[in-house]
Chain A
Amino acid sequence: MSSQQQDLVFFTDGSLLTPKDASLNPKLHIISHHDGTSPMWLTTTLAENCLVGTANLVNRELKQSENDCSVVNASFLHTEDVFEKASRRQAVDLGSLSLFKFLDYSSSLFTSNFPATKDPKRQLSLLFDDITKTIESAKTSNKVVFLDSPELLLAATNLSSADILAGVRKLQKLATVITIINVHTSMFNMDIQNAQDPAFQITDFYVKLCHMSSLNISLQPLATGKAKDITGSLTVTRGAIPMTSGSEVLEREYVFQVTKDATAKLYFR
């Protein structure tokens, strides 16, 4: 393990999430994590990178620039307060930027989005229409959508993975989609054959999502156990869909440490 702190880079051109032709051919990226390795610090950093060009927490080389990019964060897990609090720790107040929109589906999921009396398929369609309208209202050339924990919809409703993937494709027509999924779940089993089992739908969703992605970022705890100075490892790997912008995914493995004040340090592994 290298002891020198490293800059986080996803593409061969040294960028994080600003490939040149993102607006022409939007891609889908995946951030997968475990229970102990929450990607909140990474999500706020990537949102910062899209909006202002910098990534103060993980890459000092990236300078402030006019990306002409808007960001929508649709979360089924966190409220706006949690996200803004995390972003303020890295000296960027995302909530104050007009090009940033937070859609909170966590606190209203069962009260207004999916009430028991209404058809879940129709409600899902309305939900994705809501996100689509928010994306379309931005007048920037580059658009990025974070979809935080969409698998919760599968666990909470009787929707199928195909229904949610159809919604994801709808978003990808307009913007680069970054889906954040928790793969540390007993509901994930690649050998499952019983279609009635909820784990079947979740596994089906994850695997099909991986076949749609161009970039896979995985945050996982150390396989060797706990360490005081290391939170986990972060791997950057190519997805199934090749990049078309000319820049390729730079496959790397880092170990990272998230400190109490939510700053992150990365080292090569």
Chain B
Amino acid sequence: MLSQASLVLLQRHLALKENSPFSLILDSLGQSAHPLLAEFVHHSSGLVVFLSYETPNQPAFANAFLDCSSASVKEIAGFVSSNTASSSPAKKALVVIDSLNYVPSTEITQLMAAIVLPKTSTVGCFHTNVPEPFSSGYPSAAVLLQYIAQAIFEVSPERVADEEEYLQLLSQLLFAPGQGLNLKVFKLHLVNRRKSGKSLTYDYVIDSASHEYQPYTQQQTDDTVSEEDMLKELTTFNLSTNAKQRFAREKVDLPFMEAQTEMGKMGGAIVYEFEKDDDYDEEDPYEDPF
């Protein structure tokens, strides 16, 4: 039931029906934001305005395209408002920013304030692997963007065999084949912020080729094989047990169980039980202090 509600929430976000004037997509070298952007475009019914910092040519889905690498905030805001004039709050225009890493952190709030309009929904990508300059006394661009975004979509590869190896290779700019990097099927972690301020998180698996979404389920990492399967076809002897034998075996009390009943009451102490043939000497210096 909960998963159904979370899927509806995701579809409302992708179709720009959720109240989220600015949504942030966090991607990495392992998984690009482009398949998720394609999902936004797939569900969008209004105009698509593409603000480019790293895409050289206008994508086929974009109705308007601006190379922002040398444009001022004022020019960008003017371009967005003039190209979304025909939109309405009911049929919002989708404004896509391909990379917010090119905007200095000191200008990022100014830019967002200028282009986020009531009849538009802005989706901006931020590459988390790009180094960020440290500036004391002022938050980084990533922190600012996560603070002002109403929804945060973090994309990552669906299954990574060895997380440590994966991160180590990426840190050396090495991409190993077969690790599921930049696939059309990927994992999405959504942070949805309600008006009340409450944040809810959801995990999905997105298939951008078939536009199918599933709640993400943690892969079974426990790789222990059942005893039955382990002994199967190992020898010609019957080494397995049937249900009746298993039940009988479980009923047998193991020695350590006894320790927890009578003698176990003494905690971890050494308990000596005096027997009739024992020679008790009061002067014995090695006597049991208990």
Point out residues on A near B: beta carbons under 8 Å: 25-26, 32, 162, 165-166, 169-170, 172-173, 183, 188-195, 200, 203-204, 206-208, 210-212, 216, 218, 220, 235-242, 244, 251-253
Contacts and interface: CB of A to CB of B under 8 A. Distances in A.
Contacts of B35: 242
Contacts of B171: 190-191
A210 B173 contact: yes
A183 B173 contact: yes
Contact of A211 (B29, B60, B184): B29
B69 interface: yes
Q: Name the 10 nearest CB pairs between A and B, nearest first.
A: A240-B32, A195-B133, A193-B134, A251-B177, A237-B175, A169-B56, A172-B56, A238-B182, A173-B56, A183-B173
A240 B184 CA distance: 11
Given A237-B176, A253-B176, A192 B131 contact: yes
A204 B127 CA distance: 11
Nearest to A203: B131
B102 A240 contact: no
Given A173-B57, A210-B29, A240-B182, A235 B127 contact: no
B177 A252 contact: yes
Contacts of A189: 131
Given A170-B56, A173-B56, A204 B178 contact: no
Interface in B84-104: 99, 101-102
A237 B29 contact: no
Given A207-B127, A235-B175, A241-B32, A193 B181 contact: no
A204 B184 CA distance: 26
B4 interface: no
Contacts of B67: 169
A238 B181 contact: yes
Nearest to B33: A240
Contacts of A165: 54
A172 B171 CA distance: 26
B176 A204 contact: no
Interface in B145-196: 170-178, 181-184
A220 B131 contact: no
Interface in B23-76: 27, 29, 32, 34-35, 38, 54-57, 60, 67, 69-70
Nearest to A190: B171
B131 A251 contact: no
Interface residues of B, number: 37
A236 B177 contact: yes
Given A172-B57, A173-B56, A190-B171, A207 B177 contact: no
A204 B173 contact: no
Residue among A170, A191, A242 with most chain B CB within 10 A: A242
Given A172-B56, A241-B34, A216 B175 contact: yes
Given A235-B176, A240-B182, A211 B54 contact: yes
B54 A204 contact: no
Contacts of B60: 244
A26 B57 contact: yes
A235 B177 contact: yes
A208 B29 CA distance: 9
A25 B173 contact: no
Contact of A169 (B27, B29, B54): B54
Contacts of B56: 26, 169-170, 172-173
A166 B184 CA distance: 28
Contacts of B133: 193-195, 200
B106 to A, nearest CB: 13
B130 interface: yes
Nearest to A248: B184
B129 interface: yes
A235 B177 CA distance: 7
Contacts of A194: 133-134
B228 interface: no
Contacts of B34: 240-242
Contacts of B70: 166
Nearest to B30: A240
A251 B60 CA distance: 26
